[in-house]
Structure 1
Amino acid sequence: MRSTNMVKPGRLIIESGRHVALVTGGARGIGLEIVRRFLGDGYLVAFVATKGEHVERALDLLGRPEDRLYAERVDVTRQDEAERFVDRVRARWGEISILVNNAGISPKRIDQNAPWLSQMSPAEWARVIDVNLTGPFTFIRLLAPSMIAKGYGRIINVGSLAGRAIPMIAGPHYAASKAGLVGLTRAAARDLAPYGITVDCIAPGRVLSDLTGPADAAVNRSALNRIPVGRFGTAEEVAHVTAFLASPMMGFITGATIDITGGEFAA
């Protein structure tokens, strides 16, 4: 039976004095800026990445505040690795109240444009779906029971413009996975709303980072022509929106997808 109890904003902060946040894909780009922002907001932050060297570089960039930051190399497609990491975070700090599903991959052709369906192997398709869609499902499934028990939680899925409009740069596998993430967000929001848990999606457009390459790359110059505000987005801007949705005061926004595209897409 679903709970009908009203959850007051800030209840968890009052009870525990702190939030624990988990960010997947937190070592580079948008994920790193989300981790940085959460640390600045006073959260205890755990993050994962697929490569150990990326984890170590990110820890160095963040100044290694070991009392408030914990990270490991974890493959988000491996449920056993995800479970062990969540268990270690809980042992260190207690229950996790904020989850950001940011980990994602987007294979490209050599020229950095989108691969065509005819150029895509079944194995490549499966890997992208596993990382970008099954990974978020795995972490939501792991953390939802404890959030339900607490009567509080914030889940933010990082989608993409490619899942909202005709993909101009990303491949069919990436677009399908990010469109699926919007559907997963809505379904999870429906299931978890009665327990004080919000589930939302953010959909960035072209955001410059070490993952997208320099602004003067041909693929980026072409993308810039499609952005009404006349510039690229920044990872910091995406992190600001994520922090907004993670706030205990945002309990009446759930099931939403927020487009961060400089006007390239609006719905």
Structure 2
Amino acid sequence: MVMIALGNSSGQSDGRVALVTGGARGIGLGIVRRFLTDGYQVAFVATRAEHVERALDLLGRPEERLYAEQIDITRHNDVRAVVDRIRALWGDIAILVNNAGVSPKRVNQDVPWLSQTSAEEWARVIDVNLTGPFVLMRLLAPAMIAKRYGRIINVGSLAGRAMPMIAGPHYAASKAGLVGLTRAAARDLAPHGITVNCIAPGRILSDLTGPPDAAVNRSALDRIPVGRFGTAEEVAHVAAFLASPIAGFITGATIDITGGEFAA
């Protein structure tokens, strides 16, 4: 674990402190940027130090409202320590966005995914994509219950909602599990003023998905009724709404942001 940046303490900020995992790139960075624009004090974590540094440069390093660390989300003691530091800085975390995720790439297109997925790779994907959100939800829920307010947003995927066309079985299983975890936690926490929802993006262009003219993206475009790819900013708009007080009657929902590729 490497500490990258530390925001300046500005006292207690009930309801205005957000934590975003996987916040250094793509959808996560879009959500961090939007939350800063909306006036939140935002902490984010990511796995690689160079990604955190680049994100801080892109965000302009507003240190009075921004805290960032490089951390492996599967190291639960380190996660707990990060949460403690955020609480010491700004008070309790009211908004949690579980965005961190890994999606291994297929090595051989002619060999079934299952044959290429080792038990170790399976365990790593489940640990990051599903166990990580569970651990953070369990860690933050008691303070949210005490305040009778909280917003938990899990970032799933189209791969967890429909037959996965690109992602592997471990990724699809983890994201489908995240939808189930969202519903279970929503039922459990609703009486305490806490909402738990899931966002399920489709093909969102970022440095993670590659250029629009990549073969995998051209193939995906044929399946999207609106005829274009989504953006991290569009996902961030939905996250901002779910994080707000006006979304208090929405819980246990999965909101698909797929350009019509998935329509339940």
TM-score of Structure 1 vs Structure 2, range by shorter chain: over 0.9
Q: CA deviation at 1:111?
A: 7.3
Of the three residues 43, 46, 49, the one matched with 1:46 is 43
Gaps of 5+ in 2: 1-11
Match of 2:204 in 1: 207
Q: Distance in 2 between matches of 1:51 and 1:112?
A: 28
Q: CA deviation at 1:265?
A: 0.3
Of the three residues 22, 25, 39, the one matched with 2:22 is 25
* 1:73 paired to 2:70: yes
* 1:256 paired to 2:253: yes
- For 1:106-255, list aligned pairs within 5 A: 106-110=103-107, 116-255=113-252
Q: Distance in 2 between matches of 1:257 and 1:129?
A: 20
Q: After the TM superposition, list the runs of 4 or more consecutive aligned residues in structure 1 that deviate by more than 4 angstroms.
A: 15-18, 110-115
Match of 2:53 in 1: 56
- Cα distance change, pair 257–166 in 1 and its aligned pair in 2 (3 A): same
2:154 aligned counterpart, secondary structure: strand
Q: CA deviation at 1:249?
A: 1.0
% identity of equivalent residues: 82
Of the three residues 81, 88, 91, the one matched with 2:88 is 91
Q: Distance in 1 between matches of 2:133 and 2:231?
A: 23
Q: CA deviation at 1:74?
A: 1.1
Q: CA deviation at 1:114?
A: 10
Match of 1:12 in 2: none
Does the 8 A contact of 1:112 with 1:219 survive in 2?
no
- Cα distance change, pair 80–218 in 1 and its aligned pair in 2 (3 A): same
Would you say how many aligned residue pairs link Structure 1 and Structure 2? 253
1:92-117 C-alpha deviation (Å, 9 max, x unpaired): 00000000000000001247999610
- Cα distance change, pair 69–16 in 1 and its aligned pair in 2 (3 A): closer
1:192 aligned counterpart, secondary structure: helix
1:212 aligned counterpart, secondary structure: coil
1:233 aligned counterpart, secondary structure: coil
Q: Distance in 2 between matches of 1:37 and 1:194?
A: 28
- Cα distance change, pair 120–254 in 1 and its aligned pair in 2 (3 A): same
- Cα distance change, pair 213–114 in 1 and its aligned pair in 2 (3 A): farther
1:76-127 C-alpha deviation (Å, 9 max, x unpaired): 1111010000000000000000000000000012479996101111000000
Letter in 1 for 2:178: L
- Cα distance change, pair 220–142 in 1 and its aligned pair in 2 (3 A): same
Does the 8 A contact of 1:38 with 1:243 survive in 2?
yes
- Cα distance change, pair 239–253 in 1 and its aligned pair in 2 (3 A): same
Gaps of 5+ in 1: 1-14
Q: Distance in 1 between matches of 2:16 and 2:109?
A: 39
Q: TM-score, normalised by structure 1?
A: 0.92
Q: Distance in 2 between matches of 1:253 and 1:113?
A: 43
Q: TM-score, normalised by structure 2?
A: 0.93
Does the 8 A contact of 1:186 with 1:255 survive in 2?
yes
Does the 8 A contact of 1:102 with 1:157 survive in 2?
yes
2:246 aligned counterpart, secondary structure: coil
CA RMSD in angstroms, aligned pairs only = 1.5
